[in-house]
Structure 1
Amino acid sequence: MSSLLTGRRGKKRAASPSTIPAHPQRAAEGAGGPVSANPWRTDGTAPAGPDPAFPADDAPPPQVVEWSQGSALASKAWTALLVLALVSGPVALVWTALRPEGGPVAAGTVSADQGAAAAAAERAVELTETWLRADRDDQALVASLTEASISTLPATGLTIRDSSVASVTAGDPSPTGTTWMVTVGVDVAEPAPGTTVPVRGESGDDSEASEPVLVWVRRYFQVPVLIQRPADEDEPFAVAALALPAPVPGPSGADSPGLDYPRTIPITSDAGESVAAFLGALVAGDGEITRYLRPGTAIQPVTPAPYTAVSVTSIGGSHEISDHPSDGDGTHALVTAELTRPDGEKTTAQYVLTLVARDGRWEVSGLDQTVRTEIPVAGSGDSGTE
């Protein structure tokens, strides 16, 4: 088997977005030239020079011609360099004195923008949490976090949890600063759908009212926050929330593409057993993890181990593999596993790995940082990547 060169029969494939730079194929592959038998090289480089497996056709040996004028040319070159150095010295001094001031460094600008975004997000989250929890006695507390006027607050605040920033968007800079629009996501305890909320009677006595069944609902709120840069870089940003939180729709769901792991790898195969042993060492503390890693791969186990056992239920591969692989054969793998907690309860998790063969056995060469997805090929109606 030719490892990564095995494609789907009868289909055009686009370049995979999950191709790992550490395992590139030879540059000749894209040009239609000969392909290295080992595209999963561990040094991250294509072989230098011709591949010995594909010798050139009767290429004549290179001819070496001696040249007797080398020392004379070297002497002339040193003389020219010395004259150039003497002439360029005054020119460099003039350029240093007359050159225009350099513009701001891009990295510094990016860092400042990140700091402003973080300051805006922090104020938006703080205001949103305080506003949701507030009752009518907390009017001064809410007012301390925003420039907006507070007219009405409820008799009882809400119960919330798990606040996070969904998005941060910068507006156009102005003389007063830059306004950032921050969207905050919060879990809010609300009555379950179909249940009624007891209404407080005219006398205010609700002792006989039953408590509603509450469920957690994810809600989103938008807050405009003004950020002013300080004159002194060592000073903090000036921050002001310009309005109260506004409930807005949450992010819409994306059309998820299918995952591109079309080959089935049996969990009882050599590769399947290597994957199960690796995951057991990774999250269950079962054995030494380096036994299952390709040389040069550094993956540390999770400590202390959060699970007591791992059971692999399925493995999908990007390429076909065998129990008798050649060195350098490889595949990306999507592994579904059942993890057992210390209390005996089980949960399902999925890992994306890269497997590469060496000395007749399968080793893990990395936890993939991307997942392979099927991508439609323009004008073909086909999908998928190799």
Structure 2
Amino acid sequence: MSIRSKRSPAHSSPGEIRTSSWTQGSALAVRGGSLLLGGLLIAGPAALALHYLDRPATVAVAANQDMQAGLTSSEQTAGAVATGFVGAWLSATREDASLLETYVTTKTLILPDAATEYRDLRLVSVTPSAERAMASAIVTATVATTVVDGEETKTTWVPSYFQVLTQLDGTAVRVVGLPAPIAAPQEPSETLALAYPQTVPSSTGVGQAASAFLTAYLTGQGEIARLVAPDAEIFAVTPAPYTELRFDELRADVKTEGTPANGDRARVLVTVSGTAASGASLTSTYVLTSVARDGRWEIDSLDLFPAITN
């Protein structure tokens, strides 16, 4: 079996294949030397060139790319520059490398005839060096890859990761070298054991509270305020994503049968399938904390993390 990245003409149908998702790249002021690095894409001996982005235009960062806490503005900008750089690098061809030219000189590069197809380009992380003179950015994209298995050839979309090095000089950000494909993040060697040993029947107080709450939360059916604890600030999803729910499994960290005492708490793991108005159905997992008041269970919080076994 052999695998290779699939390339397509640089001008592809919108929404499927991107040639750049960082639209401000061409507006950046660029100055600096030349780039020569040893590798498959470079002809000639290795050398170093830095391209200055002295006063970057307003950086366009995807909405889901939250800035990392503790980074300086230049380090945050480095992440946006790296994202655009990877998009320009993947989309560059012999006929059109204009966007890549805003980052590095392409005179010494051996460029392909067709652009690499990609989508979902986004920043993963930015790590500054100890002296904060450089930053390493990890960027991911889903890349179209051709898989040859015997006589069969097919295209599959593969999550891919790239490292981009940048040099920081005051407000200037300079790309160093070219994007480098790297291995995907490794999964933990051990799987966490969730601490929800108790099955919760839907007819119990906790089961009814969790079901009623998620129904109001996800479908808008029911008054969510009367299902949550007095101090809980939880609001329904609007617009409601589903019109119908099916509760597949409810589990708790403690036994919840009988009438609870005031202040009793139970952490609940709920697996629920929601059906949208279109008929599409998705299954989700919710982690809740329920608290007892006046003999009934109320939802106290939608938890960020589940209960785990120590």
TM-score range, shorter chain: 0.7 to 0.9
Instruction: Report deviation, 1:192.
Output: 3.6
What residue number does 1:156 align with?
114
Cα pair distance change 1:150/1:322, threshold 3 Å? farther
Question: Which structure 2 residues correspond to residues 1-386 of structure 1 after superposition, within 5 A?
Answer: 113-146=71-104, 150-173=108-131, 178-192=133-147, 194=149, 213-229=154-170, 237-254=171-188, 255-375=190-310
Instruction: Report deviation, 1:166.
Output: 2.5
Cα pair distance change 1:124/1:312, threshold 3 Å? same
SS of alignment partner, residue 177 of structure 2: coil
TM-score by length of 1: 0.59
Number of residues of Structure 1 aligned to a counterpart in Structure 2: 242
Query: Any stretches of 5+ residues in structure 2 without a counterpart?
Result: 1-67
Instruction: Report deviation, 1:117.
Output: 2.4
Cα pair distance change 1:193/1:368, threshold 3 Å? farther
The answer to whether the 8 Å contact 2:100/2:106 transfers is no
Say which structure is richer in helix. Answer: 1
Instruction: Report deviation, 1:365.
Output: 0.6
Instruction: Report deviation, 1:111.
Output: 7.5
Cα pair distance change 1:306/1:132, threshold 3 Å? same
What are the Cα deviations for residues 254-300 of structure 1, in whole angstroms up to 9, with x where unaligned?
Answer: 13211111122112212111111100110111111112111111101
The aligned amino acid for 2:149 is: G
The answer to whether the 8 Å contact 2:271/2:284 transfers is yes
Distance 1:192 1:293 in 2: 51
The answer to whether the 8 Å contact 1:271/1:323 transfers is no
Which structure: larger Rg? 1
Query: Any stretches of 5+ residues in structure 1 without a counterpart?
Result: 1-109, 198-211, 230-236, 376-386
Higher relative contact order (CA 8 A, sep 6+): 1
Instruction: Report deviation, 1:367.
Output: 0.7
What are the Cα deviations for residues 40-60 of structure 1, in whole angstroms up to 9, with x where unaligned?
Answer: xxxxxxxxxxxxxxxxxxxxx
TM-score by length of 2: 0.73
Distance 1:302 1:337 in 2: 15
Q: Percent identity?
A: 32
